[in-house]
A and B are shown apart, each in its own frame.
Chain A
């Protein structure tokens, strides 16, 4: 039976509330948005504070987003910050000093991929910087301390607090959402030259969260109006192509399933699957990554797209169709299931592991809960016993089965911990690659929680 074990609290903690933490796409770094108007960058290798971004915003930084590595110059990190001051800042830093140099060192030691060799020793990085200086962006950068975060551009436009922001992994697009009820999409035409390409105003309330699909230019947003909307570019403008209704409270977080995960269940081995299970997986592949959402209504829901069928055009005899619908543009999303109820108060965040497909949630009640999707009926080696174990411990085996699916999988709670941040609310949870000394396997992950107590905590999911 898995359990959630505390690994450590990143040091030093902040004196004020922390909102959310966002792992760097390649380096063992995590950026934590703080209500003291700063971003704290912690090393997941040394588990210490590595640097701080200050001086940019006038109010709380609510969220931040790393530009995907595909979109940046090699060796540079780009971080966008979304603040309650209604602006979004973009920051840059050359990582040669900390990244490439360390990488070289890490590789020497045979430690593998880019970020893994980094900083576990907690050494000062001065030595490495010199031999990479030549790569660090040319003469005009000479006077700059390369370790330093450089403010690059500020994006104004929102009328109120920015709640969340996200870079598209498939296109040079940044989405921001705000208490002004709008979602903005910005295109980066060239470095730091952003243009507003869309202002989407269909939500009736504060927009809490935005997230991009990992495989296509598809954006999802969750709002105080209890709705989730899916957005896509039509002929000339972005528009809402899907409305996901079901939550009865604020939707605090939405997220897509990982690109490598959809079409898999559990460990993903497909050799011993029944025909029925094979069909389900095929259907999921056709539908694309699912969406997960969590809400003030205490539920966590999973939504899936209904794959398009080719339909004949209605053949009206010169009549104006009574309902004007563009079936090519609209998407139909259905609720696939509700995860087993584990929270007693609002669920603020969920994170869907890109590696294992597990989901971790947290919220106002201070709990951290891990869920897993399994085949029903104990096939595929997962076994009835595992289910029974889980049920014995959690007492909550399965979520509400949804008619829409007739699914042959079910979600169950596999582990949970209470009072993760003592008596404080936990604002955010995310899976991150493990990078500290204790790391065992390549794909090992940690759970990172961010709380009102100013602490960022790292947890291990012990599978024993």
Chain B
């Protein structure tokens, strides 16, 4: 939804976005002097006529409305832009694992290899599948090739490493799909837990919390839904926690030595990265400095700007995998194996469903449905399309045809409205005295009584889901981009919706091609012509269960669900906790809170102090 905001737009002061839904009326701190008449219409005119003071919208106000940020947020979000990436990568020397002590070394990782006072950092990037899909559709390459091109840009010899003061590049480029699998398994467990124990924990239905636009909106406007929000971190956040916790521990370096960038389909992910809940304090205790798990989020468009700033032609980058020499193994062998699987297996078998059933937003609902289905032998999943393409209703039916699980998908602001309204607790009418009959009961019944019966709802702020995120490449830019320029003219004319839809369909197709493994299982051959050998590595202690086997284990669920090996994921979680010495709960869960907007309230401190305060608070580092 926040299609308007891009780093280009960020300057010292930004007026509320074109579709800002924050009431400007409450903003003026002084009444226009000549007209003391509280004539509502006149007041507004006068407010607009006089230059109003900058709208003050706190960071925790969301961008879901379509992207309005003000000075404080602009500073914070501008800390996450392609120029920030350039600046950091240019200024700092890349801290190569081979310069660091071996695994579990004690503290000597701090040593500056060159002794010249240049800051050193480990650079690590994680790439969302939607970003790859967007670039794939833009340049007419496969989703996998787009991934290779990104690897080449960030890690390869023709990419960032070809320039900059220190020739720094990204040591590891991860696919957030890896952690997404972990998230999906944990999400399925969380949903099951809610069903098993209705007294404790989450309220029914559980709502997805991976979409930062939706989360911010809920925190700000609908606190009553917060007890429904899944406590799981998003794949971005969990990847951030993983790399910082593991690398800091393994190399014995403080987390601020690790600089983690995520490339996401959505500007709101920048705000997610700024959340105070997603910092080292959540998992490393509060003694040390607070460091964000994700230092910087950029989008596909900004990735292209990054390339252009270094005079790199993104479409000319090799569409082949990077040589291993550019990618040292991740220090923990088990985690290395997870992060860089030997072959890219088809993630999900599409034998029994259309790829579109996965959706475009990481497939939480789909995975949970398949998990539920596996708990009920011979059960089937019934899909009921809602009033528009962004709403659907799903039931798992037992062999006898009894509904055993009900869930739904709600994408887009208009549909979210209907969901939150129906989750609102029944209360006495806001209209006392209007009638002798309370407004609840008969008059407030939801359509078909459905929402309360859902066990899980996948909620995303963008219509069409994450492939349609605000940071994706706009159809209006595609022609220019293909001709070589970056054409970043703020999206061009985006008014014509059907065209955008057609474009979206292509991006979705690219996204699903990766999901369903249509590209076939490749024996990935790297630049040197070597076959990947990692599949021979069985010394890591993780059992690799036969991918076709679906034998039941202790929790009554098959092991391979939706192409994801549950026991392998669980072994990974155990390994992660063990490797870092941090409890599982601290690593994978987060919290949400109702946010009182400070819009229109008296400002206790000046702008600069406030900005500085916020920046310090979130570890903005300036």
- Whether B414 and A196, one on each chain, are in contact in the complex, defined by CB atoms closer than 8 angstroms, is yes
Q: Output the residue of B479, B497, B503 with the most chain A CB within 10 A.
A: B497
Interchain CA distance A322-B421 in the complex, whole Å:
42
Shortest Cβ distance from residue B438 to the other chain A in the assembled complex, whole angstroms = 10
- Whether B443 and A152, one on each chain, are in contact in the complex, defined by CB atoms closer than 8 angstroms, is yes
The contact of A84 among B40, B430, B439, B495, by CB within 8 Å, is: B40
Chain A residues lying within 8 Å of B445, measured Cβ to Cβ, are 193
Given contacts A54-B434, A149-B434, A320-B478, A329 and B418 within 8 Å (CB-CB): no
Chain A residues lying within 8 Å of B463, measured Cβ to Cβ, are 237
Shortest Cβ distance from residue A165 to the other chain B in the assembled complex, whole angstroms = 16
Interchain CA distance A143-B437 in the complex, whole Å:
10
- Whether B418 and A196, one on each chain, are in contact in the complex, defined by CB atoms closer than 8 angstroms, is yes
Any chain A CB within 8 A of the CB of B30? no
- Whether A179 and B23, one on each chain, are in contact in the complex, defined by CB atoms closer than 8 angstroms, is yes
Chain A residues lying within 8 Å of B387, measured Cβ to Cβ, are 187, 195, 197
The contact of A56 among B19, B434, B437, B501, by CB within 8 Å, is: B434
Describe B's contact surface by its main secondary structure. loop
Chain A residues lying within 8 Å of B48, measured Cβ to Cβ, are 224
Q: Mark A314-326, 1 if CB is under 8 A from B, else 0.
A: 0000001011111
Chain B residues lying within 8 Å of A204, measured Cβ to Cβ, are 18
- Whether A324 and B496, one on each chain, are in contact in the complex, defined by CB atoms closer than 8 angstroms, is yes
Interchain CA distance A452-B37 in the complex, whole Å:
12
- Whether B479 and A320, one on each chain, are in contact in the complex, defined by CB atoms closer than 8 angstroms, is yes
- Whether A87 and B496, one on each chain, are in contact in the complex, defined by CB atoms closer than 8 angstroms, is no
- Whether A234 and B447, one on each chain, are in contact in the complex, defined by CB atoms closer than 8 angstroms, is no
User: Other CB < 8 Å A-B pairs besides A154-B429, A199-B417, A237-B463, 20 of them?
Assistant: A55-B434, A151-B431, A151-B434, A153-B439, A154-B430, A157-B417, A159-B21, A159-B23, A182-B19, A197-B388, A199-B413, A201-B18, A201-B66, A237-B414, A239-B497, A324-B498, A324-B500, A326-B496, A326-B498, A329-B497
Chain A residues lying within 8 Å of B430, measured Cβ to Cβ, are 56, 87, 154
For the complex of A and B, the 8 pairs showing the least CB-CB separation, nearest first, are A324-B499, A55-B433, A151-B434, A201-B19, A326-B498, A196-B417, A160-B23, A56-B431
Any chain A CB within 8 A of the CB of B502? yes
- Whether B432 and A55, one on each chain, are in contact in the complex, defined by CB atoms closer than 8 angstroms, is yes
Chain B residues lying within 8 Å of A179, measured Cβ to Cβ, are 23, 25, 44
Any chain B CB within 8 A of the CB of A169? no
Chain A residues lying within 8 Å of B493, measured Cβ to Cβ, are 323
- Whether A153 and B444, one on each chain, are in contact in the complex, defined by CB atoms closer than 8 angstroms, is yes
Shortest Cβ distance from residue A123 to the other chain B in the assembled complex, whole angstroms = 27
Chain A residues lying within 8 Å of B498, measured Cβ to Cβ, are 234-235, 324, 326, 329
- Whether A181 and B431, one on each chain, are in contact in the complex, defined by CB atoms closer than 8 angstroms, is no
Chain A residues lying within 8 Å of B503, measured Cβ to Cβ, are 324
Shortest Cβ distance from residue A335 to the other chain B in the assembled complex, whole angstroms = 20
- Whether B431 and A160, one on each chain, are in contact in the complex, defined by CB atoms closer than 8 angstroms, is no
- Whether B495 and A240, one on each chain, are in contact in the complex, defined by CB atoms closer than 8 angstroms, is yes
Chain B residues lying within 8 Å of A275, measured Cβ to Cβ, are none
Size of A's binding interface in residues, CB under 8 A: 60
Chain B residues lying within 8 Å of A418, measured Cβ to Cβ, are none
Any chain A CB within 8 A of the CB of B22? yes
Given contacts A153-B443, A179-B23, A199 and B435 within 8 Å (CB-CB): no
Within 8 A of B (CB), among A279-336: 320, 322-326, 329-330
Chain A residues lying within 8 Å of B475, measured Cβ to Cβ, are 324
- Whether A197 and B414, one on each chain, are in contact in the complex, defined by CB atoms closer than 8 angstroms, is yes
Given contacts A196-B417, A199-B414, A326-B499, A150 and B435 within 8 Å (CB-CB): yes
Any chain A CB within 8 A of the CB of B582? no
Given contacts A199-B417, A236-B389, A54 and B19 within 8 Å (CB-CB): no
Chain B residues lying within 8 Å of A180, measured Cβ to Cβ, are 21-23
Chain B residues lying within 8 Å of A181, measured Cβ to Cβ, are 18-21
Interchain CA distance A159-B443 in the complex, whole Å:
23
Any chain A CB within 8 A of the CB of B436? yes
Chain B residues lying within 8 Å of A201, measured Cβ to Cβ, are 18-19, 21, 65-66
Shortest Cβ distance from residue A20 to the other chain B in the assembled complex, whole angstroms = 12
Q: Mark B410-454, 1 if CB is under 8 A from A, else 0.
A: 000111011001000000011111111101000111110000000
Q: Mark B582-621, 1 if CB is under 8 A from A, else 0.
A: 0000000000000000000000000000000000000000
Shortest Cβ distance from residue A249 to the other chain B in the assembled complex, whole angstroms = 10
Given contacts A196-B418, A322-B479, A89 and B431 within 8 Å (CB-CB): yes
Chain A residues lying within 8 Å of B502, measured Cβ to Cβ, are 324
A-B contact list, 23 entries, CB within 8 Å: A56-B431, A56-B434, A57-B431, A60-B40, A91-B434, A144-B437, A161-B23, A161-B25, A161-B40, A179-B23, A190-B447, A197-B388, A201-B21, A204-B18, A224-B44, A234-B497, A235-B498, A236-B390, A237-B414, A237-B497, A324-B503, A326-B498, A452-B39
Interchain CA distance A323-B476 in the complex, whole Å:
8
Shortest Cβ distance from residue B23 to the other chain A in the assembled complex, whole angstroms = 4
Chain A residues lying within 8 Å of B443, measured Cβ to Cβ, are 152-153, 192
Within 8 A of A (CB), among B488-536: 493, 495-503
Any chain B CB within 8 A of the CB of A156? yes
Chain A residues lying within 8 Å of B413, measured Cβ to Cβ, are 199
- Whether B388 and A237, one on each chain, are in contact in the complex, defined by CB atoms closer than 8 angstroms, is yes
Q: Mark A50-92, 1 if CB is under 8 A from B, else 0.
A: 0001111100100000000000000000000000100101010
Shortest Cβ distance from residue A354 to the other chain B in the assembled complex, whole angstroms = 28
Chain B residues lying within 8 Å of A390, measured Cβ to Cβ, are none
The contact of A154 among B39, B439, B501, by CB within 8 Å, is: B439
Within 8 A of A (CB), among B460-500: 463, 475, 478-479, 493, 495-500
Chain B residues lying within 8 Å of A324, measured Cβ to Cβ, are 475, 496, 498-500, 502-503
Within 8 A of B (CB), among A186-238: 187, 189-190, 192-193, 195-199, 201-202, 204, 206, 224, 234-237
Closest-by-CB residue of A relative to B26 is A160
Shortest Cβ distance from residue B596 to the other chain A in the assembled complex, whole angstroms = 15
Chain B residues lying within 8 Å of A154, measured Cβ to Cβ, are 429-431, 439
Closest-by-CB residue of A relative to B416 is A196
- Whether B437 and A150, one on each chain, are in contact in the complex, defined by CB atoms closer than 8 angstroms, is yes
